Structure 1
Amino acid sequence: MAALALLSLAPAAAACINTVGTDYTGRKFHPNWYIGTELTSSMRPYKVGPDDIWVKHTIERALKSPGFDTLNDLGVVLIRQGKYSRAIEHFLTVERLFPGHAQTAANLGTVLELSGHDRVALRWIRIGMKRDPNEHYRTEWLHARILEAKAEMATDPNYLKGRSIAGVSFSDDVVPPLPTKLPAGNDGRPVALWQLNFALSYQLSERTTFVAAPDPVVANLLMDWATLNLAGGPVENAAALYDLAVRYGAPRDALMDRRQAHVREVLAKADKEPKPADIACGICEPPPEAPPAPPKR
């Protein structure tokens, strides 16, 4: 979706978050991101009004200094206000004035999708990925897969049955193992598990601010994200994400009931005042490598 870093709940800013989560065995650890209902509470549609401070500031900047950055931000305002036709015209103008920017392609892809033009949107998302493989923190591969699925759904309403938009599969175990076959990222190579978790978090955090329930695409993605957290992340996330998936139209079947019952059992047995363990979180971003030691003198 559109690059709205200041308005979305994306893990890029996780450095200041210090939470405690629980893995599927009951061990506590630091996932360094929001967990449970705190994670999902902001995942809901909203629009900004004309009196919003951000809107006024963006318009003032664009009028004062109409460069690429300010005009791009002005287009984002139009998207957030739901003025999609005007936003399409605006970004096409930006592309003519300042050709070749990945942000323009990404924003055009977003607003074209919101306007119901999924196939054209997909072309622009792919253009953006070619212009900058790092666009949207390297998560645009998932947006492309979403648009590919929506294009198929237009001719086959049952296309999503038994399919994962994200391109992952899980066993029917109550706690399934983490997937070993992973989808290709922006660069065409398989993503790591933490990158899959990051992409689902980033793309869904933005998508749910535009797309109201029910929606089969969002439900499909939420189901995979919930199961991924059950298998290798905080089970608090799994519980909240399964609930949100149901709100978006996923069936609350027997397997989901067993998984959520397991989460309740694990959390009930967890220590009241736990000491987080130094455990490997299967889907968490690894810590940065320590810089090399200075040479001895």
Structure 2
Amino acid sequence: MKALRMFAALALLSLAPAALACINTVGTDHSGRKFHPNWYVGTELTASMRPYKVGPNNIWVRNVIERSRKWPDFESLNDLGVVLIRQGKYARAIEHFLTVERIFPGHAQTAANLGTVLELSGHDRVALRWIRIGMQRDPNEHYRTEWLHARILEAKAAMAADPDYLKGRSITGVSFSADLVPPLPTKLPAGNDGRPVALWQLNHALSYQLSERTSFVAAPDPVVANLLMDWATLNLAGGPVENAAALYDLAVRYGAPRDALMDRRQAYVREVLAKAKNGPAPRDIKCGICQPAD
């Protein structure tokens, strides 16, 4: 979804000026070593993860509407549908994307957008069908993270039949030990292509899908809380511990229980950061969940 990716980038640029230095951000691993994760860290990571809509006077909205009137091709009509989603006009967006599918059939973006707006309208099972169609049309859709969207919809369908379905379950399909600092999971879920994802791909999927989901879904929400708990623990085990602390806090805001284990882990993060405050300069260390350099 080109327009949604563009809008997400604009949202990130709307962060406070201090957050714009994210390219050079320093993170700390659970042993206290500093490194460059090359992405947002800590509260900078979670600052933009909040619901928002766009108004009719938004410059992006005006440009999309003008372009779709002048050149009603697939791209402009797709973007117009995204405007409707961002404005919360879900019924009109569904009708619009079904029309786009009839005029320009077979596009992965249409299927993904239909899956998104159908879910936002409460039609999770139909949404899942369209998300799967989108993955079939293009396995690279949404940077190969749509497997996680499908798992979310599968979980929501199960929750409709059993409200306690999420108790003791991970939507992502990973499990962590109850150790203070758990090891990274070795059993990983299947990605868009049906093969197990790498750890960095799991991290990327959680980052991408949660960044979009939290722009639509307000707290509390058990699905978002479940995903945030896994993402926080993943960062504790193999990423910047600053992220773990911020994501645990956001998970609590979305309804996750602040239990004794979370308290111990956040206390440990504070200890690690206090000791590392005046430590050596960042080093080129191996980050367990960071994308490998090309």
TM-score (norm 1): 0.94
CA distance in 2, matches of 1:7, 1:172: 38
Q: Tell me by how many angstroms 1:24 deviates.
A: 0.3
Which position in structure 2 is the counterpart of 1:77?
A: 83
Partner of 1:6: 6
**Which of 144, 148, 153 lines up with 1:147 in the alignment?**
153
Alpha-carbon distance in structure 2 between the residues aligned to 1:46 and 1:233? 28
- Which aligned runs of 4 or more in structure 1 are off by greater than 2 angstroms? 271-274
- Does the 8 Å contact 2:35/2:284 carry over to 1? yes
Query: Unmatched 5+ residue regions in structure 2?
Result: 14-19
- 1:61 is matched with 67
Corresponding residue number in structure 1 for 2:275: 269
Distance change (3 Å), C-alpha of 1:2 and 1:251: farther
**Distance in structure 2 (CA, Å) of the matches to 1:3 and 1:202:** 14
Structure 1 distance, partners of 2:58, 2:162, is 41
Conservation of the 8 A alpha-carbon contact between 1:213 and 1:247: yes
Query: 2:244 is matched by which residue type in structure 1?
Result: A
| Alignment match, 1:294 | none
SS in 2 for 1:178: coil
Q: CA deviation at 1:278?
A: 1.6
How far the C-alpha of 1:117 sits from its partner, in A, is: 0.0
- Please show how residues 110-149 of structure 1 align to structure 2 within 5 Å: 110-149=116-155
CA distance in 1, matches of 2:79, 2:24: 31
Tell me how far 1:242 sits from its aligned partner. 0.1
Displacement of 1:271:
3.5
> Offset at 1:274?
3.9
Correspondent of 1:45 among 39, 48, 51: 51
Corresponding position of 1:205: 211
Contact 1:229 1:237 survives alignment (8 Å)? yes
What RMSD over aligned residues (CA atoms) do the two structures have, in Å? 1.8
Structure 1, unpaired ranges of 5+: 289-297
Is 1:184 the equivalent of 2:190?
yes
1:88-142 deviations in whole A, cap 9, x for unaligned? 0000000000000000000000000000000000000000000000000000000
Report the TM-score when normalising by structure 2.
0.95
1:8 shift after superposition: 1.6
**1:3/1:198 Cα in 2 relative to 1: closer, same or farther (>3 Å)?**
farther
Tell me by how many angstroms 1:7 deviates.
Answer: 1.8
Using the aligned pairs only, state the percent identity. Answer: 84
Seen in structure 2, the aligned counterparts of structure 1 residues 273 and 173 have a Cα distance that, compared at 3 Å, is closer
Residue type of the alignment partner of 1:203 = Q
Aligned to 1:171: 177
Distance between the aligned counterparts of 1:200 and 1:224, measured in 2? 9
Partner of 1:259: 265
Equivalenced residue count is 286
Residues 213 and 162 (structure 1 numbering): CA distance in 2 closer, same or farther, change over 3 Å? same
SS in 1 for 2:24: coil
